[in-house]
């Protein structure tokens, strides 16, 4: 670096050090008070495999596993109820879908595409309006969803032991008849969510966030369903492109990765948006959290849950069905994601880039090999069920 053309070029090196926010605040406070400050720098090696990533993997796989079985049980119970209706009043067969899918939302191709478009718009909104108060609004919305999810999960679990609780109701203004069990569980869920919101900056707050997040995702995966492999392919294909664009391509348009900036909670003075599962890196000297977004669990989970419903309808065992292999594919895809994350020195990776090809590719390949791809793609149910319904009608 020189000032005039006739000066000798000097080699000047200015070291730069990045500190954690809390360490920087302590250092700044000491300098303001003119205190004596001694700084010793070291660069410890990170562990090859952090336990936080292992537990996140187990949480993601466990969430999809539980959600899939709940979805399959609900579908089987609905089919049993429908069979009873067919025996008593065969004319009601025309109303099968409305009777069996009460409270269930089936995704179609249009809604699958719109979902990704709306998600992109919401991501830009988060990126542009990210601030402390905007994160507070997201926390409120997350708490509302978490209360609903936690209440649904707890009521379903407890109803196995307190079956008669569904027979007793109490009238509540604006809500009508509400089971006593639901009325008893709701205050606990609300208090749990409020306590998490108040203490979410504490070092232990990740536990409450993960509990609310898992309950919310399990409930969503039980309510929202893909009816066939065609819709699942469109949904996951769009999500695949969405993840790649907002992690990698958005850098050329916004000068940084929009997805990573939103996940970190830049300019918000917060730990990021709450729509994440997170676990602290206990054995990493650099600290921080390992995280996974809800979308990386929910979207593949819709396809995995569909595979189990199909297996149960076709009376397939685990090895001959699709669910086991879909679960293995998801687990392996998520494992490859963490491998890529470590190879890229911790730089954010789009998980669906690795998960979608494994899960979707596995179902497509198995369906083609077994000659069932047509039913999977168009009908979403085995041929024997289709013939039964046709005869019943």
DSSP string across 113-134: HHHHHHHHHHHHHHHHH-SHHH
The answer to whether residue 296 is catalytic is: yes
Pure H helices in the chain: 21-32, 51-88, 96-100, 109-129, 132-159, 180-198, 205-223, 229-244, 250-254, 258-264, 295-313, 323-343, 352-370, 373-374, 383-392
Residue 267 CA to residue 107 CA, distance in Å, equals 35
Which residues have C-beta within 8 Å of that of residue 35, sequence separation ≥ 6?
Answer: none
What are the distances in angstroms from CA 232 to CA 155, 214, 218, 318? 29, 22, 18, 21
Q: 145 with 216: CB under 8 angstroms?
A: yes
Residue with tokens 């089987």: 76
DSSP string across 271-337: S--SSEEEEE-TT-TT--EEEEETHHHHHHHHHHHHHHHHHHHTT--TTTSSHHHHHHHHHHHHHHH
The answer to whether residue 243 is catalytic is: yes
Strands 176-179 and 169-172: antiparallel
**Residue 113's closest CA among 238, 7, 21?**
238
Dihedral sign for Cα atoms in the order 25, 28, 30, 36: positive
Residue 69 CA to residue 54 CA, distance in Å, equals 23
Identified catalytic residue from 270, 271, 284, 296: 296
Q: Dig out the tokens for 229 from the structure.
A: 């492999």
Identified catalytic residue from 50, 243, 270, 311: 243
Active site residues: 243, 296
């Amino acid at each position: 670096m020189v000032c005039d053309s006739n000066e000798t070029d000097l080699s000047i090196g200015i070291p730069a050090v990045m500190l954690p926010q809390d360490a920087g605040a302590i250092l700044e406070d000491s300098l303001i008070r003119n205190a004596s400050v001694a700084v010793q720098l070291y660069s410890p090696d990170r562990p090859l495999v952090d336990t936080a990533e292992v537990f996140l993997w187990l949480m993601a796989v466990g969430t999809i596993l539980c959600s899939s079985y709940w979805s399959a049980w609900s579908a089987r119970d609905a089919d049993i109820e429908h069979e009873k209706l067919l025996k008593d009043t065969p004319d009601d067969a025309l109303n099968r879908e409305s009777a069996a899918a009460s409270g269930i939302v089936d995704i179609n191709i249009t809604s699958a595409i719109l979902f990704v478009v709306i998600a992109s718009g919401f991501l830009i909104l988060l990126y542009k309006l990210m601030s402390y108060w905007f994160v507070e609004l997201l926390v409120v919305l997350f708490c509302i969803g978490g209360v609903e999810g936690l209440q649904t999960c707890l009521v379903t679990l407890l109803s196995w032991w307190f079956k008669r609780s569904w027979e007793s109701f109490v009238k509540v203004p604006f809500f009508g008849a509400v089971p006593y069990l639901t009325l008893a569980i709701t205050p606990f869920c609300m208090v749990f969510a409020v306590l998490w919101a108040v203490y979410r900056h504490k070092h232990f707050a990740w536990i409450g966030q993960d509990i609310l997040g898992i309950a919310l995702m399990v409930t969503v995966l039980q309510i929202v369903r893909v009816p066939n492999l065609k819709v699942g392919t469109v949904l996951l294909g769009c999500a695949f492109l969405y993840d790649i664009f907002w992690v990698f391509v958005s850098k050329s348009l916004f000068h940084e990765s929009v997805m990573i900036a939103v996940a970190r909670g830049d300019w918000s003075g917060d730990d990021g948006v709450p729509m994440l599962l997170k676990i602290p890196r206990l054995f990493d000297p650099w600290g921080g959290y390992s995280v996974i977004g809800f979308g990386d669990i929910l979207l593949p989970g819709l396809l995995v849950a569909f595979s189990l419903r199909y297996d149960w309808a076709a009376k397939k065992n685990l090895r001959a069905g699709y669910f086991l292999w879909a679960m293995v594919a998801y687990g392996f895809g998520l494992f490859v994601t963490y491998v890529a994350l470590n190879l890229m020195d911790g730089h954010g990776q789009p998980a669906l880039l690795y998960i979608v090809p494994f899960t979707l590719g596995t179902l497509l390949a198995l369906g083609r090999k077994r000659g069932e791809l047509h039913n999977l793609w168009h009908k979403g149910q085995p041929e024997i069920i289709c013939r039964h319904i046709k005869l019943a009608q």
